[in-house]
Amino acid sequence: MATDNVNQSGVSAAADSAREEAAPLEDSTGPNTAAQEPDAATDSVEQPQDSPQAEAAGANSPATEPAPDSESSGGQDFSAMLENYEKESAASKQEGEIVRGMVVGVSDQYVLVDIGYKSEGVVAREEFTDHQGNLVVSRGDEVDVLIKSLENQDGYAVLSRAAAVQVQSWDRLRHAHQTHEHIKGRVSARIKGGLQVEVEGIPAFLPGSQIDVRPVRNLENFINQEIEVRVIKLNRKRGNVVVSRKAVLEESSSKKKAETLANIEEGVVLEGAVKNITDYGAFIDLGGIDGLLHIIDMSWGRIQSPTDIIKVGDNIQVKVLKFDPERERISLGYKQLLPDPWQSVAERFPRGMHIRGKIVSLTDYGAFIEIEPGIEGLVHVTEMTWSKLLSISQEVEAVVLEADPNSRRISLGLKQVTQDPWETLPVRYHIGSRVSGKVRSLTDFGAFVEIEDGIDGLVHVSDISWTKRIKHPSDVLKKGQQVDAVITNIDVDGRRLSLSIKDLEPNAWDRFFETHRLGNVVKGKVVRFANFGAFVEIEEGIEGLCHVSELSDDRVEKPEDAVKVGQVLPFKILKLDPSQKKIGLSARAVGKSDEPADERNYHETGSGMATLGDMFKNLQSKATEGSEGEE
């Protein structure tokens, strides 16, 4: 510290300069003249009476007694008084003691302080400056300082303001620790495990667990804030101070809680702060105790989240709905502060009235429409529009069917607003009519196409294409796609409309049956196998069956033993069945003029292909022929 250097020669000059600035000019006959008197008195009594020089002077002097000198006697009395004052002053001041003094002068390096000692004390100027370097004291101010040395080589007392403040701060911290007194401090920085708080000029540690009654995530929000804390641990030797803000909050909360519980009762209106928000409501701090404001008690209308009404930190008024003093549970209401809009719904919404509202919820049994804030009506699924296509936030017009304020229900109808389009459907459309519409939805069994508002038709998966094998409608159709179709059936009572996309083109099977006859030879590609034969693609989408017995003149156990998938071969048509759309083929009959014996089986079964019964008979006859041959 700067005060450790006061023994330097510059201290005397600086102190003298400070004193000269502080002391006014005086006459030459003033204190300066009086101050010389003790020196003169001292000089007059410097020689002791019993010294040799005194004895010699007495022998040579006349025998007559000397006349008393009144001026020399007064000097001796003043010198004795000054000496006594210095001794008393020195005895009353001790090094390491904190005393109060008055600022009597200021220089560039030091501040001169009068502590009632024989000489003034000096304090380094920087101990009285702020962070910007501005001096915070002036002449005449009283300050507490610590005596580091009663006198240096220049005769001045060495003082320290910072040391005095530190000792006083530790004393106040010790007192606060013993009495559990609350003290204020300013958060200076975030450190490992918590915060650093400047308390009485001494850095203290505030653990993260002692910051609040609830865990705090963002500690940076406390930096530079002034907070009230309690000293919970103090070690002067190690310079450790631990404080707690949580203890202060708990004590304050306990007092507020007792006051709140003493005055609370059901039906009273209280003011509180929104402390925490959850999905089902919000907790309101009523003063030391929290109450639950459920989401259904926030508004007469429908809200998606409590944050639509309130936010954390808001101060709101609430009404106590229920209070359990034993469990200390409080149920609060916010909407109860406003009139109940359901009390007058019967008068404001009579039966048959047309209203407009917004769809706020869709369920399996209907849709809820908000007529006004706090009032919702239900459109049952049986009372919806003929198309039954609704969406959230959609603005619709409805008719009031019934309003019951006691059960807090309003029944609405949508289809009563317009005429049923299904009743006039046979007038506007006929079977075979070609229509255009948009694909609204896709299912495993087909696609629904909207041909007009409220009228949807079904295109079955089997009615999409004549030739393609479609496993799912999404293979060829997309939601929102514009398509053309032909009406194949109209069922007004069942509200069903059947559509077909494949009927927009001629039937490929009909064309094939018209252009081909029995015995014609066609080329085909083997596409897949079955246990009883091979399926052959003759044209795109047109397939025939070649029985395993018709694949080769040789006996074939499995069709894959005779042909391969993808192999193209000529086949002779043995059977045509337009009604079943089946074609019987033979590979071994190609090039033979005579009708093979198995061709008669195709004709006789009338199925277009060999049946399982034919196969069984054929195998049985062959087995009989084989047994006869063995005999």
Cα–Cα distance, 396 to 389 (Å, whole number): 11
The CATH 2.40.50.140 portion of the chain extends over: 2-60+72-163, 180-249, 264-337, 341-417, 425-504, 508-626
- According to DSSP, the residues that pair with 400 across neighbouring strands are 412
Instruction: Classify domain 180-249 by CATH architecture.
Output: Beta Barrel (2.40)
Write the pLDDT tens digit of every residue in 177-186: 888 888 899 9
The region of weakest confidence among 47-51, 186-190, 195-199, 415-419 is 47-51
Count the Cβ atoms, other than its own, within 10 Å of residue 402: 13
The bridge status of strand 290-294 relative to strand 281-285 is: antiparallel
How wide is the angle at C-alpha 561 spanned by C-alphas 556 and 564, nearest 5°? 130
Write the pLDDT tens digit of every residue in 229-275: 999 998 888 888 999 999 888 888 888 888 888 888 888 898 889 98
Provide the pLDDT for residue 66.
45
Tell me if the domain spanning 2-60+72-163 has CATH number 3.30.470.30.
no
- Judged against a pLDDT cut of 70, whether residue 34 lies above it is answered with no
Provide the pLDDT for residue 468.
75
Provide the pLDDT for residue 83.
59
Q: Which residues are CB-contacts of 407 (< 8 A; sequence separation ≥ 6)?
A: none
Write the pLDDT tens digit of every residue in 404-458: 888 889 999 887 787 777 878 888 888 888 899 999 899 999 999 988 877 889 9
Assign a CATH topology to domain 425-504: OB fold (Dihydrolipoamide Acetyltransferase, E2P) (2.40.50)
- Judged against a pLDDT cut of 70, whether residue 357 lies above it is answered with yes
Tell me if the domain spanning 264-337 has CATH number 2.40.50.140.
yes
Q: Where are the beta strands (DSSP E) in 407-564?
A: 409-413, 434-442, 446-452, 455-460, 482-491, 496-500, 521-530, 533-539, 542-547
* Residue 483: C-alpha distances to residues 379, 474, 507, 535 (Å): 32, 14, 19, 32
Provide the pLDDT for residue 243.
92
- Judged against a pLDDT cut of 70, whether residue 600 lies above it is answered with no
Residue at token pair 């650093």:
196
What is the CATH number that goes with domain 341-417? 2.40.50.140
- Judged against a pLDDT cut of 80, whether residue 585 lies above it is answered with yes
Provide the pLDDT for residue 382.
80
Q: Which residues are CB-contacts of 154 (< 8 A; sequence separation ≥ 6)?
A: 6, 7, 9, 11, 12, 15
What is the phi/psi pair of residue 421, to 5°?
A: -70, -20
What is the CATH number that goes with domain 508-626? 2.40.50.140
Provide the pLDDT for residue 594.
55
Provide the pLDDT for residue 10.
45
107, 17 contact by CB (below 8 A) = yes
Provide the pLDDT for residue 394.
86
- Judged against a pLDDT cut of 60, whether residue 16 lies above it is answered with no
Mean pLDDT of the chain: 77
Compute the average pLDDT of residues 139-162: 81
Three-state secondary structure of 167-210: HHHHHHHHHHHHHCCEEEEEEEEEECCEEEEEECCEEEEEEHHH
* More confident site: 105 or 152: 105
